[in-house]
Structures are given as structure tokens and as C-alpha cells.
Structure 1
Amino acid sequence: MKKKIIIVGAGAAGMAAAIAAAESGAEVTLLEKNEKTGKKIYITGKGRCNFTNDCDPEQFFRKVVSNPRFLYSSLYGFTNQQMIEFLEGEGIRTKVERGGRAFPLSDHASDVTKALNGRMKKAGVKLLLNTEVTGLLFADLAEPLERKGKRIEQRVSGVKVREVRWSGTSKGPVSSPVAGSERELAADCVIITTGGLSYPSTGSTGDGYDFAAAAGHSIVPCSPSLVPFETKEPVGDELMGLSLKNVEAAVYDGKKEIFREFGEMMFTHFGVTGPIILSASAYSAKRLRKNPLKLVLDLKPALSEQQLDDRILRDFDGEKNKEFRNSLSHLFPARLAPVMVRRSGIDPYKKVNEVTREERRKLVQVTKNFELTLTGLRGFNEAIVTQGGVSVKEVDPSTMESKLTPGLYFAGEVLDLDAETGGYNLQIAWSTGVLAGKSAAKPENA
């Protein structure tokens, strides 16, 4: 007899779990409170969907910020290469860009969702949209179990659901219950793939944490991650919107360096953002709760201090009668040059042939050490992922099953798992989803 599996949440992890479970012989029902599947997938990678990273496994694990060891079974069980092969097999051509970031060749995130929906349909997954889960159902075990020194007396037996009424706009569902619409659905296993708190407009409102807590699970405090920083120093109109390529960013907590990476960043009206800044946020959230951090930008990382000084001297020699304020156009973008003049402390009206060696060295220092004070992170509305969630100490990494409640599984962002930007977080969703689906579908005596 087929096992009945209910999956809560039709995002990346939920659809991966549904396909894996159905293709393993289970009867699968996928519940989604939105009007369509994969709403968050549509906006990832600015609508292009950076669906994985084409790197080797060891590099992948180095990019995982929270609990990388927990992911060994799932990532080796369904790898980034297998995800690429999955999409190619569904007729979606893919490409790999700088940094190993993999995208559909079309640059359309909808192609990824289309492939997943098509595969679910082939596998016989029953999809119920506009269906909100309001709670889990539990049944007493015939014989109590002992796990990790705890006496377990109940297992999950299904979910409570209700219809979601729509407002008639494109902004999303209104979660008011329709009269008489609440009901119960029985299942042998339930997989929670509700996501975290990032981009709540897509339906990620933390429901999964409530379900997990009801089953006795601990929730690691949540923070926005892969999110811009706010800075103490006002950026102003001068730098707002200015993007810089080929810079190196380092973040310090006191004297301790907690992050360093080379790449692109951008100034905003509130602080800083961009790929290397978003990755830095993953390592900074917990520390920022206690105190501000220091961001140090090396604006010319390809040059040593001596090489940069030589470069500045050559520029000065070519225009000896220019005022200092007009002499940096070859070194910095036009909008950045006035800021560097102020930071150097050199008289802006001084002729460059009068700039002293010590003043020149100060310019080198502020170029190699452009400092900003990080005071906080932007909110979940701007965060790509959530840091924190269901404690992985209470989940079996070889199956994704709860150690506290038999028949209950977790996958994706609802767990305390997160990584840097670059396709790693979506791969975590695919891999944990596939493992949860296959594990839940196994016969009880297997």
C-alpha cells in the first residue's frame, strides 16, 4: 500500500520533495497557500534564477555558513551537477557564469518552475493551491519510543487546512478563513518546507516554525541574511547608486576579521549592498546584535601600497599644475573622487606638484582602507534568505526526519541552514528536499 505524504509549501524544497517522494512510489499531496507554486523562485537572481553553483563539493561546503556538516548526506545524495542534469533533462538549457553561478539559458526563472511543475504532474503529485495549513495533527504511538533520552509518545498523523480567500489583487492572498472550509487531511508523513521569513510577500511568514514548535522542536533565533547593511556614515547623493567592481571587502569585529572577499559592491542611500556585501551579512548578523562592525574596502586590491604610490606619482607628474581636487579622475570614478579628496585630508586646491610624500601616503592609506561603520542589517523584506530556524540538532541529517516526532520531516530554509550568495541556498533546498521526499516514501520496515 502506498504511503500517504503531505508536503507543506510548494517552494524549491517542497517541489523537490514532492517529485522525489512521488517517484519513489508514494501518494503525494503538495499544499500551497499561494495561487501558484515557486513564488520565491520567480524573484531569485533578479528574476533569472541562480538555481545552483557549479563548484566541487568541498568548495560548496566552504560557502555554507550555518551547519555545513549537517548537509553531507543530502548534498552528496543530490548534487549540484544532478540539479543541472535534472533541468537539462526537462528541456531547460542552462549556462554557468562567473563564480560558478548557474542559470537557465533563457534567463527566465519561470523556466525552472515550469520544469518542476511538469515533473510533478508526470509523477502524479496532487497539488492543492490556495490551501493554508493551520496546524499539525498527532496520534499516539502504539508503543512509546526512546530517542536521545526522550520518551516519544506521538507521531504526526496529518494536517489541518483551510481555504485561502483572495483579495482580487496581484499582491497575494488574504488568509481569512472561508466559512465551513476548514478540514483535516490524514497522512503517514508530513514534510515541512514552508521557507523562512525572507520576502514575506511570497508567503514566507514563519508558519513552519510554529508547526515545528508544536512538535517540540527548538527554533534558533532568526535574522535576515544575504541582505544590505546600514552604515553610520551618510552616503548622500554623491555615492548613492555608485557600483564598484574589483574591490576587496573585509569586516572586523574589533580586531577580529570575520569576513574577506573580492568582487562587486554598491553604495545606497542607507549604506552598502552588492554581491560581496550580501555574503558578508551572512557572517555578521549575530555580531551586529551586540555592537557595530567595521567594513574596510580596498579600492585598489590589485596594487600594493608601493605600486599604488608609484601610480599616483605618475599621474601627478603628468599634470603638475592641476589642483589636487581635479587630479584623481584616472584613479577613481568621477563621483568617488571628491569623497577621496576629503578623506585624504589634502588641501583640495593644492597643486599636485606641491603634494608631499606624506600626504601622498595618506591618499594611499585611505584608498587601501576605505572605512565604514556597519550599524545594522536591512529587514526580512530585502533579505534573500533567513539565518536561523528549526535546530538541526533535532533532525536526522541522513533522512531529514524529526528526532522528536516520527513521520515529521523538514527541508529547505525552514531549517537552520544558510550559505553565501551564488546559488548555494537553492541547492540546499533541492538537496534537503530530495532527501526528505525519498526518506518519507520508504516503507516503514525498509
Structure 2
Amino acid sequence: MITILIAGAGASGMCAAITAARQGAHVILLEKNDIAGKKISMTGNGRCNITNEAMSASCYNLSAQGKMEGWLQRFGVAKTLEFMKSLGVVTQSEEGYIYPISGQAVTVQNAMIDEVVRLGVEYITGQQLKKITPVDDGGFEVKTTGGLYKADKVIIATGGLSGPKSTMSTGDSYYIAKSLGMNVTKTYPALVSLLSDDKDLPSKYGVRMMAGIRIKEIEDLYEYGEVQITSKGISGIPVLQLSGRVAQYMADNKGTVTAFLDFFPTYSDDDFTNMKKDIIEVSRGKTYIQVLDGISNHLIGLMILSRLGIKEDTVIDANSIDDLERVIDNYRNVRINIVATSDYASSQVTKGGVDLNDLTDDLESVHTPGVYVVGELADVDGRCGGYNLQWAFTSGYIAGMAAAGR
């Protein structure tokens, strides 16, 4: 019987363990935390966004898209739902976002752990991977903080750098991958907030508004959705979606970028012009802030007026129309200076990792056959909305099957 050692019992590691054990392999699953699947329990705000019906290769980083299409054909959304069903997890779609019907991420976490135990996987917690050494007569010697293990195949599923305090994902295996001949691309925190040094951003609890956000320094980088603006910067799903590329651009260019917010992104130019005309017609005799409160959030209005040097209690008259029009135009071009992103402790995923050119289509190391790399450790990162968990399941399944010889 083939022995497969899997280091890391997150979503990808447990999926690999379950898949390989179902094929009859003897599986040893090691986890340095006291329990498997800690990151699963925190995904989707504690609800676990398992996958997304709007799944495609284009939802992943550019360097992964070429291979991702083939990988998703082998194990995509439909097979993920079948896998959940095999674990006894009932799912439901909420506008294309797939969650366990229980509404609790722990449902998925516990179901995977239960299946690992049911299949007789040798499940060991409290041990950290330290070294993988190929043995002359075949197989590998695996050193951990708890001892030495022998295995025919090894799957590394130890994650990236995201969430070091909560999940103990500290990027330990980047060094191990390098020692086995694999190249590791530069890493960055992704799915994070963008931080600003602007002193006039809304204070207190901040502001949530629908907006389009564009980073003009990076070609075609645009997102739309609910943006949260606070005194520290901007966040929200659209910000998370573009944060990885922003982090990479800022690190590579050692500079800042500017976020341009449009609070009327669904308006055509004609629609916006007509809206301005309607507002201006009823504006005389009102103060600027009274007019602006009718079209947007109060705090955003105060910020725009301050930036233009206009007092909020100034009364609008016939001579103020051009200024009022200029004020309203600013709602389509609010600039926020971005000086940094949140760090790995706040990030949901790591951008970068083991170079996919050093992995086969089965996620096996080209340089050290018999060693597989899955999940966040590989240079794959997806959009917010179930895409990174889908990659965890996809990569775990593919490696688990290949390592088991299927």
C-alpha cells in the first residue's frame, strides 16, 4: 500500500487526504495547529463561501489562468458540490455564492475532519514540517517538530503567509520548496484593505457607499461594489478584489498610487448631466451641505466641500451655480492617496508562491517527482467570493488522485 504524507490540514490538505484515502492509500496528515481547518472556520465571515457558480479561469491571477482552465475542468464547481454532498454537507446558492445551508463555516470544517477520521487517516496535530529529503531507494524522509516519517509521496499543503496569528500560516514551506529545486515567486498580501495618509477622510465609523474604484497607475484595474471609507483608508469587496495587484505594484515600484472613486458609476454621462440640472433647479436658497445631503452621504459631502475650500453653510444663489456644478462633478472623481496595504495578518490570501512552471498538470514538482504542492502555497490567488476555496479543493483533489496513482 502506498503511503502519502500530507503536511497541512487546511482545505486543500484535507481534501487531498480524503481523496487519496478513498483511493486506498495509507495517508498521514500532519497539522501544526491543535485542530485542522482553522482557516475554513473563518472564511466567508464565518459562513464559508465554498465556491461560486460564476467560476472561470479569468477569476484568478494572470500567471495561473493558462493552467487554471484545465484544472477547473478536472475538478470544478459541480465536483466540489458532489464532494460536499459526499461529506453530508447540504449547500445553497445565494446569487451564485455557494454556502453550507447551515450558514456556519464550522459545518464544512467538522465534516472534513470527520471524514478524515472515518477513512482511517493517520491524523496528527501539533507538528510542523521542517524538511523533506528524497531517499536513494525511493520515497522520502520527512522531518517534523515531532519526529521522522517515511512516505512514498509527499503533498505540501501548509499555506502561505496570510493570517499568521490566527492560522499559524507563516510561509515555512517556501524555504522547503526552494530546497527541493522549486522557484518561489515574490509574495504579497492580497484581499486586504488599502491604507491612506489623507487627513480628511470620514472619521468615527466611516462610510459605506456603492462606488466604482479605479487605480489609474495600473492598466484596466477597476472594480464596482460597496466601498467602506474610514479615516485609515478604504476596504470592502471591490477594494479586496484589486488589492493584490495594488500591493504588487506598490512593492515593485516603491511608491504610492491613487484610488479614484466614482459614487455614480451606474450613471451615463447624459444621466449624470440631467441629474445635476434637476439638483441645481431646486438648490437656490439652500446651503451646500443641504443640497449634497440629498444626493449622497453627509460625511462625503463634507469631505468634498472641504477639499474645494467651500464652507458647508454657504447659501447658494445665482452666482454659485458654477461652483455647485463643480462640487457635484467631484462625486465622480474622489481621489484617495494609497500609501500601503494592510499586512499579511489582515490578508485573506497570499499572492505569489511556488512557480507553476515548476509544477506539472498534476501539481507534482518537476524537479523532485513525488512531491506535490497545493493550495495557497502555489502561485495561485483568486477573487473574493469562493474562488480561493475552490482552488484549495481543486488542487487537493488533483494532487490526492495523482499521488495515489489514479
Q: Aligning the two structures, in what range does the TM-score lie when normalised by the shorter sequence?
A: over 0.9
Structure 2 counterpart of 1:3: 2
Task: Provide the residue aligned with 1:266 in structure 2.
Answer: 228
| 2:202/2:300 contact within 8 Å kept | no
C-alpha distance in 2 between matches for 1:315 and 1:239? 29
Shift of residue 345, structure 1, vs aligned partner: 4.5
Please, which of 247, 252, 263 is the counterpart of residue 285 of structure 1?
247
Shift of 1:251: 1.0
Deviations along 1:76-115, whole A, 9 cap, x unmatched? 11111221232234332222224x2211122210001122
Identity among equivalent pairs (%) = 30
Instruction: Note the residue ranges of structure 1 that are not aligned, 5 or more in a row.
Output: 142-154, 164-182
Alignment map for 1:28-39 (pairs within 5 Å): 28-39=27-38
Distance 2:283 2:220 in 1: 41
Indicate the RMSD between aligned Cα atoms, in angstroms.
1.9
Whether 1:159 aligns to 2:122 is no
1:160-187 per-position Cα deviation (integer Å, ceiling 9, x unaligned): 1234xxxxxxxxxxxxxxxxxxx21100
> Normalized against structure 1, the TM-score is what?
0.85
Distance in 2 (alpha carbons) for counterparts of 1:285 and 1:210: 22
1:76 is aligned to 73
- Structure 2 residue 75 is the aligned partner of structure 1 residue 63: no
User: Mean alpha-carbon deviation: is it higher for 399-408 or for 70-79?
Assistant: 70-79
Give the letter for the 2:399 counterpart. A
CA distance in 1, matches of 2:279, 2:203: 24
Counterpart residue type for residue 127 of structure 2? T
Deviations along 1:21-66, whole A, 9 cap, x unmatched?
111121111000111000111111111111111124xxx2111014
Say whether residues 1:406 and 2:389 are aligned partners: no
Hey, what's the Cα distance between the residues in 1 that align with 2:48 and 2:207?
24
In 2, the alpha carbon distance for the partners of 1:52 and 1:263 equals 19
Look up the SS of the partner of 1:15 in the other structure: helix
Provide the secondary structure at the position in 1 that maps to 2:267: coil
| Residue identity opposite 2:140 in structure 1 | S
Separation in 1, partners of 2:126, 2:351: 27
**Separation of aligned partners in 1, 2:94 and 2:25:** 37
Is 1:22 aligned to residue 21 of structure 2?
Answer: yes
Q: What secondary structure, in the 3-state scheme, does the structure 1 residue paired with 2:175 have?
A: helix
* Residue equivalent to 1:147: none
**By how many angstroms is 1:344 displaced?**
4.3
Q: Is the 8 A contact 2:288 2:324 kept in 1?
A: no
* Map of 1:377 onto structure 2: 341
- Whether the 8 Å contact between 1:136 and 1:160 is mirrored in structure 2 is yes
User: For each residue in 1:365-412, what CA deviation from the matched residue of structure 2 results, as whole angstroms up to 9, or x when unmatched?
Assistant: 31111111221111000000001111111110x211100012111100
Query: Residues 415 and 355 of structure 1: is their aligned pair in 2 closer, same or farther, counting only changes over 3 Å?
Result: farther
Q: Which residue of 1 aligns with 2:48?
A: 49
Per the alignment, residue 257 of structure 1 pairs with 219
Between Structure 1 and Structure 2, how many residues are aligned?
A: 402
1:226 aligned partner? 191
Instruction: Work out whether 1:215 is the aligned partner of 2:180.
Output: yes
Give the direction of change, closer, same or farther, for the CA distance of 1:89–1:19 in structure 2 (3 Å limit).
closer
* TM-score normalised by structure 2 residue count: 0.93
Alpha-carbon distance between aligned partners in 1 of 2:277 and 2:288, rounded to the nearest angstrom: 12
Tell me, yes or no, if the aligned pair for 2:50 and 2:99 is still in contact at 8 Å: yes
Residue aligning to 1:200:
164
> For residues 45-444 of structure 1, what are the structure 2 equivalents within 5 Å?
45-56=44-55, 60-65=56-61, 66-98=63-95, 100-140=96-136, 157-163=140-146, 183-201=147-165, 202-238=167-203, 240-245=205-210, 247-253=211-217, 256-289=218-251, 290=253, 291-354=255-318, 356-396=320-360, 398-442=361-405
Name the CA distance, whole Å, in 1 between partners of 2:65 and 2:134. 31
Contact preservation (8 Å) 1:282, 1:420: no
Structure 2 Cα separation of the partners of residues 299 and 344 of structure 1: 17
1:159 maps to amino acid: V
Q: What residue identity is the alignment partner of 2:365? A: S
The one-character-per-residue Cα deviations of 1:277-296 (angstroms, maximum 9, x if unpaired) are 01111222221111211211
Contact 1:346-1:359 within 8 A present in 2 as well: no
Q: What are structure 2's unaligned runs of at least 5 residues?
A: none
- The answer to whether the 8 Å contact 1:238/1:336 transfers is no
Distance 2:330 2:134 in 1: 62
Change (3 A) 1:280 1:391: same
- Deviation for aligned residue 1:311: 2.2
AA of the residue aligned to 1:120: V
